[in-house]
Structure 1
Amino acid sequence: MLKLFRAMALGVAVAAAALPARAETLADALIAAYRNSNLLEQNQAVLRAADEDFAVAVSALRPVIGYVANLGATWTDSRVSGVRVNTEDLSASVTLSADLVLFDFGRRQFSIDIAKESVLATRQALILVEQQVLLAAVQAYVDVRLTQEIVALRQNNVRLITQELRAAQDRFEVGEITRTDVSIAEASLAGAQAQLAAAEGNLRVAREAYKAATGNYPGNLAALPASPRLGRTLDEARAVALATHPSIKQAQHSVAIAEKQVALADAAMKPSIGLGASISAADTNDTVRSTLGLSMNQTLYAGGRLSALYRQSITGKERALAALRQTAVEVDQNIGTLWATLAIYVASIEASDRQIVAAQAAFEGVREEANLGARTTLDVLDAEQDLLDARAARLEAEANRYVAVYRILGAMGLLTADHLKLGIPTYDPEAYFNAVKNAPATTSRGKKLDGILEKYGK
C-alpha cells in the first residue's frame, strides 16, 4: 500500500511538472504595480495627513481645557530685634481652566470647509498618481513584449543572412559570383549581429523599466488582451474627460478653497466672543476660587495686514478660477491630440500590413531571380532588409496603438484599478477620513485606525 501511495504521489508530481508555467498577464502586471507602488503609498500618506488637517479644524469648535499646577518653596533670612530669624514656606496650587469660542462670524467653520475641500482635492491628486502608476505598468509590459519580438526578428534575420553567406561562399567556390558578393554578405551579417546586440540591450532596458513599474522582473508574458473600449467619437471622449478628469476636479476644489479663504479673510476683521471658566485651589489659605466670564476681542488696527490678506485672498480666487479654465483647455487639447495620434497608429498598422505583403513578395522574387543569376547578393540582402524593416515597423505601430488607447483612457480620467476591474481591494479614502473626521481625543491611533492601515499593508 505504501508503495502504491508513493507511486501515486510521484505521478502527480510528474504531471504537475509537465504543466506549462502560467503566463503573466497584463492584469497581473497592473495589480503588481498598484500593490507595490511606493509613489501610491506616499500619496496615500499625504491624503491621510490632509484628513488629519480636517480633524484639526474640527477641534477648534470644542473647548480647550487645561490645568496649571505650581509647587514652590520660599526661604527667608531676616533679623528681628537683633535676632536672626530663618523661615521656610512651602506652597502649592492648581488651576483648571476651560475656554470656548462662542461666536466668531464663521471663522472656524470656514476653516473646516477649507480643510474638507483640501481633502477632496488631495483625493483627486491620488487618482492622478494611480493613473500614472498604471500607465507606466502598461507601457513597461508592452515594451517588454515589443523588444522580445524585435529580438526574435533580429535573431531570425541573423540566421537568414548566415544562410545567404554560406550560399554566397558556395557559389563563389564554383565561380558563379565574385569575392565582392561574399564580402557584401559578410558585412550584412556583421550589421545584423550589431542590430541583434542592440535589440537585446533594449530588452534588458525594458526589463529594468518593468521591474521599476511592477516591483519584479517580467516572467513569461502572455499576449496582450483586447484594448479597452473608448467612446465612439472624439466628442464623447472629450465630454467624459471634462466631466471626470481628476485634474479638473482638483482645480474645482481649489476654486472652492479660494472662495472660502476670501470669506475667512473677511471674517478675520470681525470680533469674536468667547466663554472662559476656571477653578483654582491653593494650600496657603485653603480656599477655592471659581470664575466664569464672557470675553469679546477684535483687532482694530494691525498696520494694514488684515486688509492686505483680504485683497490677497481675492487675487487667490481669481488665480484659481483662471487655473481651472486653463486645466480644462489642457485636458481638452490632450484628449484631441491623443485621439489624432491613435488614428495615426491605426493608419500606420494598415500601411505596414500592405508593406509586409509587398516586401515578402519582392524578397521571394529577388531570391528566386538571384538563384537564376539575374540578381546579385546585394539585391537579395536589400530585399530582406526591407521585409525586416516592414515587420519591425508593424510591431512598433501596434505597440504604440495599444499604449495610446490606455493614454486616452487616462486622459478621460478612467485609468483606475476600479474602472479596469482588476478585482483587488483598492485604497478607500473614506475609511481613514471617517475614522478621524470627528477629531477623536486619543493619544494613539487606536484599534480602528490601526485596522484601517493594516488592511492596506501600512
Structure 2
Amino acid sequence: MRKFWAALAVTSALVAAPAVQAETLADALISAYKTSHLLDQNQAVLRAADEDAAIAVAKLRPVVDFAAKASWTKYDNSFVTSSFATSNFETSSASATLTASVLIYAGGRGRLGVDVARESVLATRAALVNVEQQVLLSAVSAYVNVRLQAEIVALRQSNMRLISQELRAAKDRFDVGEVTLTDVSLADAALASARAGLATAQGNLQVARERYKAAIGHYPSNLQGLPKTPQLPKSQEAARAIAVRNHPSVIQAQHEVKISDLRVQIAKGGMLPTISGSLSTTEQDTGLGNTSLGLSLTQPIYQGGELSALYRQSLARKEISTAALHQTVVSVSEDVGNAWTNLSVANASIQAGSLQITATQKAFDGVREEAKLGARTTLDVLNAEQDLLDARAGKLQSEASRYVGVYQVLSATGQLTAARLNLGIATFDPEAYYNAVKKAPATSTQGKKLDRIMAKIKK
C-alpha cells in the first residue's frame, strides 16, 4: 500500500512539474529537428550523393600522373676483359615521367553521367524531406501522447477517489443495516480494480515518456497546452492535388524516372566508339628524355551480346521506375484519403463523446442519489461511475487523435516540414554543400569553404 501511494505521488509530481521547466510543442519540434540522428544520417547520405556529382564531373577532366623511378645494381661476379679485370661492378639510373590523359569522346556517356548524378542528388533531397516529415510527426505524436496519458492518470486518480468515497459510504450503510456485506465487497473489488487501472495508466505514461525522449531528445517536463493546429486544405480533393504535386515521395520517384531515362541513353552510348588522348614526357638522370603524344580509338564490335543485354535491361528498369512513380502517386493519394477520413472520424467521435459524457454524468448523479434513498444498489453506482470514466477517457483519446490527425494530413500532403511550420530555426540547406563540391574542388580556397560548411553542419 505504501508503494502504491508513493507511485501516485511521483505521477502527481510528473503531471504538475515546476513552471520554470515549461515546454511548448514548438520547443519539442525544434528539439526533435536538432537532435534527430535519423536526420543526421540522411543528411550525410545526401552529402555522399553530392560527392557522386563531383566524381562524375571529375571523370570529364584530364588525369595527370607523375612517376619517379630509381634503381641501383651491383654485380658481385668478377669478370675479365681484354684490357682489365674487375669485380663488384655497380650501376645506377633514375627517371621521372609526367603523363596526362583525357577522354575526348565516349558517346556522351560522360555528360550523361553528370546528369544522372545531379538527378540522384535531387532524388536524395526529396527522400531527406520525407525523413524530416517522419521526425516531426513522431515528435507531435509523442508530445500529444504524453499529455494524453497524464490526463488519463489524473482521470484514474479521480475515479479512485470517488470509488473510495463509495466504499466508505457502503461501509457506513452496512453498519446501520441498509446494505449487505455483498455491497461492501463490490465496492472493495471496484477500488482494487481502480488501483490496477491507475497503475496501468502510470505505466502507459512512463512508456510515453520514453517514446518522447526517443523522438525529441529529452524527457518531458511541464508540457504546455496544445496550440492551434495548422491550416489544412479546404477539401480532401484539394489535399490530394497538393500531395500529388508536392509530396517528397512523388518528387523522388519523378527524379528516379529521369535517371532511368538517362541510363537508357548511356546504354546506347556504350555501343559508340571511345576516343582518348595522352601526353607523356620522361627525363632520365643521364640528361636524355623523350616526349610522346598519343590518340586512341576503341570501337566495340562484338562482346557476346552484353551491350544489347545492358540496353534491354535499361529499358526494363525505365519501365520499373515509371510504374513505381504511378504506384507512388496511388499510395500518396490513398494516404491522404485515409488521413482525412481518420480526422473526420475523430471529429465525429469528439461530438459523440461530449454527448455521452453529458448523459452518463446525469445518469451517475441520478443513480447515486437513488442509491442514497435505497432505490439503487452499490453495484448500480459503481457501474455508472465506470461508464462515466470510459466516456471521459474515450473523449480524451478522440481529442488526441484529432490533433495528431491534422499533422498526419499535413504529412500525407508533403507539407509537414520545419519551414512550413514556421519553427523559427535555421534548417538544413541542401544546396550549400552541393554548391561547394559540384565542380569537384581541389584548391585551398574551396577547401576552406568546405571546412566552414562541415563545421556548421556539426553544430
| Fold agreement, TM-score > 0.5 | yes
Letter of the 1:447 counterpart: K
Post-superposition CA distance 1:320-348 (Å, at most 9, x none): 00000000011111111111111111110
Q: Residues 156-202 of structure 1: CA distance to partner in whole angstroms, max 9, x if unpaired?
A: 00000000100110110011111111011000000011000000000
Alignment of 1:388-407 (within 5 A): 388-407=389-408
Work out the CA distance in 2 between the residues paired with 1:46 and 1:277. Answer: 38
Tell me which residue corresponds to 2:55.
Answer: 56
Find the aligned partners of 1:363 and 1:341 in 2 and give their Cα distance.
31
Tell me the residue number matched to 1:441.
442
Equivalence map 1:192-207=2 (5 Å) = 192-207=194-209
In the alignment, what sits opposite 1:80?
80
AA aligned to 2:70 is L
Aligned position for 2:423: 422
Kindly state the Cα deviation for residue 444 of structure 1 after the two structures are TM-superposed.
Answer: 11
- Is 2:244–2:329's contact at 8 Å kept on the other side of the alignment? yes
Q: Are positions 1:290 and 2:291 aligned together? A: yes
2-structure distance, mates of 1:189, 1:450: 65
CA distance in 1, matches of 2:143, 2:225: 10
Q: Secondary structure at the match of 1:314?
A: helix
The 2-side partners of 1:74 and 1:127 are apart by: 64
Q: 1:96 aligns with which of 98, 111, 130?
A: 98
Q: Which amino acid aligns with 1:440?
A: P
* Percent sequence identity over aligned pairs: 58
Q: Which residue is 2:135 aligned to?
A: 133
* Whole-Å separation in 2 of the counterparts to 1:227 and 1:115: 39
TM-aligned CA deviation for residue 457 of structure 1? 2.5
**Counterpart residue type for residue 130 of structure 2:** L
AA matched with 1:215: G
Map of 1:236 onto structure 2:
238
Structure 1 runs (4+) deviating above 3 angstroms are: 81-86, 442-445
Secondary structure of the residue aligned to 2:170 is helix
Q: Any idea what SS the aligned residue of 1:225 has? A: coil
Aligned to 1:248: 250
Do the aligned partners of residues 116 and 376 (structure 1) sit closer, same or farther apart at CA in structure 2, a change above 3 Å counting?
same
TM-score of the superposition, structure 2-length normalised? 0.93
Structure 2 equivalent of residue 259 of structure 1:
261
**Counterparts of 2:124 and 2:43, CA distance in 1:** 9
Write the deviation string for residues 11-38 of structure 1: whole angstroms up to 9, x where unpaired: xxxxxxxx94252111011000000000
The aligned counterpart of 2:413 is 412
Match for residue 380 of structure 1?
381
Q: Which runs of 5+ in 2 are unaligned?
A: 1-17
Of residues 180, 188, 191, the one that matches 1:189 is 191
- Taking the TM superposition and a 5 Å limit, the aligned residue runs for 1:4-403 are 20-21=19-20, 23-76=22-75, 77=77, 79-81=79-81, 83=85, 85-284=87-286, 286-403=287-404
Indicate the SS of the match to 1:161: helix
Alpha-carbon offset, residue 61 of structure 1: 1.4
Give the whole-Å Cα distance in 1 for the aligned partners of 2:380 and 2:26: 45
Residues 370/444 of structure 1: CA separation in 2 closer, same or farther (3 Å cut): farther
Measured after TM superposition, the shift of residue 442 of structure 1 is: 4.9
Matched residue SS, 2:300: coil
Q: CA offset at residue 316 of structure 1?
A: 0.6
C-alpha separation in 2, matches of 1:100 and 1:78: 49
Partner of 1:13: none
Matched residues in 2 for 1:23 and 1:307: separation? 66
Alignment partners' CA distance in 2, 1:294 and 1:456: 45
Partner AA of 2:249 in structure 1 = S
CA distance in structure 2 between the partners assigned to 1:179 and 1:445 by the alignment: 87
Tell me, yes or no, if the aligned pair for 2:102 and 2:276 is still in contact at 8 Å. yes
Number of equivalenced pairs: 439
Deviation at 1:78, TM superposition (A): 5.2
Unaligned runs of at least 5 residues, structure 1: 1-18
AA at the equivalent of 1:172: F
How far apart are the structure 1 equivalents of 2:350 and 2:288? 94
Report the secondary structure of 1:226's partner residue. coil
SS of the aligned residue for 2:384 comes to helix
